[in-house]
Chain A
Amino acid sequence: MSKRPIYMDHAATSPLREEVLEAMLPYLQDKYGNPSSLHSPGREAREAVNEAREKTARALGADPKEIFFTSGGTEANNIAIKGTARRQKKKGHLITSSIEHHAVLDVCKELAAEGFQVTFLPVDRYGMVSLETIKRALTPDTFLISIMTANNEVGTIEPVAEIGALARERGILFHTDAVQAVGQIPINVREMNIDLLSLSAHKFNGPKGVGALYARRGVSLEPLYRGGGQERKLRPGTENVAGIVGLGRALELAVEEMPEKSRRQQELRDRLIEGLLGMGDVVLNGHPSARLPGNVNVSFNYIEGEALLLGLDLEGIAASSGSACTSGSLEPSHVLRAMGLEEQLARGSLRLTLGRGNSDADVDYLLAVMGPLVERLRRMSALYPRQN
């Protein structure tokens, strides 16, 4: 078995597709016009941005006027949450979950420091937010609920449509960080009663540095920056034309190929999960069925995640872990801790996220490498029970 490079960290970022690069290239070379210019190069760029806006809207079941391009998921989350908060007459109440990405969590913490009331909802052992806990958290001052569509670490898919219906019924805005979900699972902002949604192109084989915010018509948002009239003043600054074109093309392709891709990835995912659980003293993190098609997250008892990643990397496999030691912080994953996973298991977590390029052979190789590596690290571990 020869060492070969395998990328299983698609939740971190995914490779740019050839077709997407082709669509982008003209706008990095000959078609360099500024979409705000009146002349023909400008109009050409404007048309490309409009077309990407239409594609993005179509993928979400939205209107093109409701799509605002940003520099990525983080900016979209910031505009959505701060943007609604700043338009409130008083410092009201917002609800989020304790397993959000930091691009939501830390924005909410910032608002809390400014005097807003913030509820960070608990989740169950699968990382699922319940409608009941949301209902209990509601106050007459609640103006926003922000719950991610699917979790980036454990892949749990949240009951977004139910939350949307509840929020709509109560007249509360509903934002969802769908960075991990867009292009992976079907989303329709109308059917799901979503008011605000964040997405990022590089998670679905698009370019880095570009994302979008969907904001339902009528939702009032305060921009983060002042500047020109781009993105209807919500996100001023000359458009990242090539990036936006890439986002539109990548999303179009992702949605088109979703049924087949998700079926394939689920097969690979389930084979990986089965193989890893078979190694013993391994637990699955996240929901067994309400789970992103490409997400595998398991914890190995007695092993530290960073050591596991290092071992895999030496065999050519790129993966990720919720271990503290991988992030440079001292605390293991806030997501795994919120799910009630004990610290040692949280530190021994391994995330494998599949993408278009992964094959059955990759799964075979990973499982073949994993067995001896786990065995070796456990024998080395001060916590591993004596074998004799």
Chain B
Amino acid sequence: MYNEKVIDHFTNPRNVGEMPDADVVGESGSFKCGDTMKIYLKIEGDRIADIKFQTFGCGAAIASSSMLTEMAKGKTLEEARRITNKDVAAELGGLPPLKMHCSNLAADALQDAINRYLDGEKGAQS
């Protein structure tokens, strides 16, 4: 059902775990299937210096989360913001059609984290 790349990210997820000293934490949840994801960012200047995730979800959700963190690490916030759910699924070499919604979680959580971070900065400036 899943390709080798998906299985690899499920079996050996990159950047998994908590980040106690994160600058910001983003979250997303799928109303459709109940999956939940948290993403932790360490930001230096305008770049994502470190990233971690935790996911409650199926194999596709876990693999998408892992893949997203690889894609976002080292990118500027502006660049990372442009990563879409489709990009994540494509980078994984595709997901079964019924599982496409599981990949939505990942990019959504990252967007949430970035928005929170930028909102916080704005708040600090004013």
Contacts and interface: CB of A to CB of B under 8 A. Distances in A.
Partners in one complex: yes
Interface of A: 302-307, 310-311, 314, 323-326, 328, 330, 332, 343-344, 347, 379-384, 386
18 contacts: A303-B56, A304-B61, A306-B58, A310-B2, A310-B7, A314-B11, A325-B33, A325-B58, A326-B58, A328-B98, A343-B34, A379-B16, A379-B17, A380-B17, A382-B36, A382-B54, A382-B55, A386-B18
Interface string B33-56: 111111000000000000000111
The prevalent SS among residues of B at the interface is mixed
Contacts of A343: 34
Nearest to B13: A380
Contact of A383 (B17, B36, B58, B61): B36
Q: Which one of A305, A325, A330 has the highest number of Cβ atoms from chain B below 10 Å of its Cβ?
A: A325
A126 B107 CA distance: 40
B64 to A, nearest CB: 12
Contacts of B38: 382
Nearest to B39: A382
Contacts of A328: 98
A332 B36 CA distance: 15
Contact of A323 (B11, B37, B58): B58
B59 A306 contact: yes
B32 interface: yes
Given A307-B59, A310-B10, A382-B38, A330 B32 contact: yes
A311 B59 CA distance: 9
Interface string B77-115: 000000000000000000000110010000000000000
Contacts of B7: 310, 314
A314 B17 CA distance: 22
Interface of B: 2, 7, 10-11, 13, 16-18, 27, 32-38, 54-62, 98-99, 102
Contacts of B62: 307, 380
Q: Which one of B37, B59, B99 has the highest number of Cβ atoms from chain A below 10 Å of its Cβ?
A: B59
Contacts of A347: 34
A243 B54 CA distance: 50
A38 B47 CA distance: 85
A310 B56 contact: no
A342 B62 CA distance: 22
Nearest to B57: A304
A304 B56 contact: yes
Q: Which one of A326, A332, A383 has the highest number of Cβ atoms from chain B below 10 Å of its Cβ?
A: A383
Contacts of B34: 324, 332, 343-344, 347
A321 to B, nearest CB: 10
A332 B33 CA distance: 8
A304 B56 CA distance: 6
